[in-house]
Each structure stands twice: as C-alpha cells, then as structure tokens.
Amino acid sequence: MVTARVWFGFLAMCLGMFMAILDIQIVASSLPDIQVGLGIPGPRLSWIQTAYLIAEVIAIPLTGWLTRLLTLRWLFVTAVAGFTLASAGCALSTGFASLIACRIIQGFCGGAIIPAVFTSVFVLFPQARHTRATAIAGAFAVLAPTLGPIFGGFITETYSWHWLFLINVGPGIVVSAATGALLRTGRPDWTLLRGFDYASFALLAACLASLELVLKEGPPLGWSDGFVLMLMAVCLITGTLLIRRSLRRAAPLVALGAFRDRGFGIACVYSFVLGAGLYGSVYLMPLFLGYIRDHTSFEIGTIMLVSGAAQLATAPIAAPLERRLDARLLTAFGYGLFALGLIANGFATYETDAAGLFWPQLLRGVGVMFCLLPTTSLALEGRSADALADASGLFNLMRNLGGAIGIALVDTILELRPAVHVAQIVERLQAGDPTAALIVGLPLDRFHNVPLGDIDEATKETVRPLVERAAAVASFNDAYLALGALFLLSLLLLPLLRSSLAPIAKIQPASGD
C-alpha cells in the first residue's frame, strides 16, 4: 500500500511540473504585450523565451548530481521556490535586463523540476505502482503545452501581461510547502560540493547554450551564415570535450555512460522523436490558426483542447495496457497513431478549421500516452537510486532537445518552402490549371485555360495575396508531413527494443513512505 501522504506529495510535484512547462507556452502567446509594456526592441524580444530555454536545457542534465547533493525532496522544494520567486521578479520587472535575469533563474529552476518528477515515480512508489504514477506524470507533462494557448489567450485578453507570471506565485507556494511537508527522501550530501567538476559544467553550459542558439538563429539567418557556423563549431568542440571528460571520470557530473545501455539509448531516441512531434505540432497549430484562419489567442486555445481531452481520456486505458502488453507493440501503436495524426494535418487547405483539425488532434492525443509510458519504463525501470536521477535527466533532456530541433525544422520549412510553392502555383496558374485555381481560391470559370499574362494588373494584385496564402498552407503541410515521416522512421528501431522489462533489482520506497 502507498499512503495518501505519498500520493498527495507526488501530485503536488506534478502540479509544479505543470507550472514550469505551461510557463513557456503562455508567455509565448503574449510577447507583443510584454514588448509594449517594457519598451523592448523587436530584435531582443525573442530572448525572453531563449533565455529561459537555454537555462532550462542546462539544468536538466544536472539534476542527477543535484539530487545526490540535496535529495529529491529538497531539490524539488528549492527549484519550485526559486521558480516562484523568479516569476514574481518577472512580473515586477521594469526593463529588459531585469526580466531576462529573472527568466534565466526561472528556466534553470524549471529545468530541475521536470526530471525530478519522473525520478520520483521510481523512488516513491513500489514497482506495481510505477505505470500508474508515470501515466499521471505524463498526463501533466503533455497537457501543459496543449493548454498553454488557451491560458495565455485568456490572460492576455482579460488581464495585463504581469499576470502571466503572477499566476505562478500562489500555486508555487502551495507546491513548495506541500512537497517539503509530505515527502521523505533521505539526507543531503554536502560533501559533493568539494568535488564539483567546474570544467564539465562549463563545457555542458557552452555546448547546450550554443546548440539552442544555433536552433534559434539557423532558420532566420540561414544555416550557412557565419555566426551560425561559429556556434555550430562551439557546440561540436565543447560537446566532444564533455563526452570525453565524462566517460573518463569515475563520478562524472553528467553520467553519459548510461548510453552504453542499448535499451536506454533507444528509449532516448524515442523520447527525442516524441519531443519533436509534440512541441512541433503545438508550435505549428497556433501559427496556422492565427495566420491562415485569423483566430484570436483564446479561440486557438479552445480549438486545441481536443488533444488534451484525448490525452486525459486515454491515460486510464494506457496504464493497465502498459503492464500487460509487449512494450514494442504499445510503442508501435503510439508512434504510429501520432504519425497518422501528423500526416492527416499535412493535407489542410486554407478553409481547414476546427472541424478539419479535430481528428488529427484526436489521433495524436490518444497516441501520446502510448508513446510515453513504455519508453519511460524501459529507460528508467530497475535502476539504482543514484543512476535513476542521472538517467531521468538525460531521458528528459532528449525530449527537450527533440522539441527544440523539431521547432527549428518547422521554422526552416516555413522560411524556405513558401517561395518554392509560390513559383509552382504561379506556373500552374499561367498554364491555366483549374486545380491550382481551386487551391488558391479563385473562380474556376475565369481562370480555366486563361494565361496569367493576359490578366490586368488590378486582378494580379488581387491574386497575389491568395497565392501567398496557398503557398503558406502548403508549407505548413510540408512541416507536418516532415514530422510525420520522422515518427514513421522511428518505427524501424522497434526490433531493437526489449519486448518487456528484464528482471530488475527492487528499488525500495524512500524511508518513511
């Protein structure tokens, strides 16, 4: 039996994780309001998100060492308290510099929160409860990006931008107090501070920060730009040095040796692919609904609720199935269903709206829990307490990196493909192709077999925005199809996955639980 105190403490941790993930989405939806409120120049605006993401991605792989230093309990309490204080600091910021400083603290604390929750599944609960706890944590993790647009839209339209950060304060205080009072997970080991590997930390920060900047600057500047190439070189050099140093040390800051386990490595690949599809699709849909369909932030949020509702409905079904069926079968079902949802989005037109987006969202919402549960168990089940925190950090880092690279892929497609589609559509219209006229939204009787060169200038001005809209829709479709292809390719790794969990050593719940 697991006591109510443990369950309440765990649910408080899940709420803290939900806050950290939600913060990224709701702030993204209101960047223009923040820009006006603080007078931030346009080129600097994206740093509000970039500063958070860089700090977050640096913190995630450090959670193994931080867990051993502080214990899981006090790491989480400290991270949520820091996140809460930084949120209040963001709301009280009077300029760009103070806001960015608080966002860095927010990001670092938020990055420590996420893997700590997944570690707690395997520390606080006996093995028989791991699947149920993972399903609950997974539901909180994947719901936050889905609900972000509607929260952000409501706050933007109803209150000032300050409330994007102030809404974290109340729940943050409650979560910090609850986890501190309810959880018992050993004692801190302050002796680890004496052996802190500053060189590895510097290499880790330089590698991941330069990677994030490459993914941010690559699409708008071009991947052959000198600054982007320089960042790539920094990332490659520091990453290589970090790997060599980590593999040669007996107690590395980041335990990269976990990737020697083939099952763990493949599970991390699947985590990477899930991050690309989950964050990429959540990034694409608001852009499509805002740019093509001209919906408000709140309307976009309500349309995107379908995926979240499907996730919640599927979780109680996925959890018992994960305990009974072959992990490869469940992974194939989840990633195959998610792929179908992405590919279904790849055939949209300029008229596609909530009804046309319903079934693709439903497919992805049902599939995501079957993507998350078996791969999380294969990656983390059966590890000792020390190895567990390291593995959880790396597993969650791969999902975040997948999301960052997936969004960079999407941005690159949306940057490069519209010009190609415009040229193709114009060529087809010049040939009098009625199908092209239908795609653009032109009267078929007027443009069937009529060369575009014979049309007057006023009509051309009318046609141009319609062609650009059709090219934008085609580019959105390309992005969805590219993400769908990535999911289909990931199915080739299924034969390398274990059919089920190998015999494992028992991990005892923490003292007092």
* Residue-wise pLDDT tens digits, 367-401: 999 999 999 998 998 887 778 999 999 999 999 99
Over residues 321-350, the mean pLDDT reads 93
The DSSP-derived string for 185-228 is -----GGGGGG--HHHHHHHHHHHHHHHHHHHHHHHH-TT-HHH
Query: For residue 76, how many other CB atoms are within 10 A of its CB?
Result: 30
- What's the CATH architecture for 254-499? Up-down Bundle (1.20)
Strands, DSSP E only, in 254-335? none
Q: Report the pLDDT value the prediction gives residue 511, as an integer from 0 to 100.
A: 40
Q: 98-136: b or e for each residue (b if 16 or more CB lie within 10 Å)?
A: ebbebbbbbbbbbbbbbbbbbbbbbbbbeeebbbbbbbb
Predicted confidence band at 93 (pLDDT cuts at 50, 70, 90)?
A: very high
- Give the CATH superfamily of 1-192: MFS general substrate transporter like domains (1.20.1250.20)
Quote the pLDDT of residue 432: 75
Q: Which residue has the tokens 């997936």?
A: 406
Q: Which are the contacts of 105, defined by CB distance < 8 A and separation ≥ 6?
A: 55, 82, 83, 85, 86, 89
Q: Which amino acid is at 54?
A: I
Domains 1-192 and 254-499 share a fold: yes
Work out the pLDDT band at 99, boundaries 50, 70, 90: very high
Q: How many CB atoms lie within 10 A of CB 206?
A: 18
pTM (predicted TM-score): 0.88
What residues contact 355, with CB distance under 8 A and at least 6 apart?
none
- Domain ranges for the chain, please list them: 1-192, 254-499
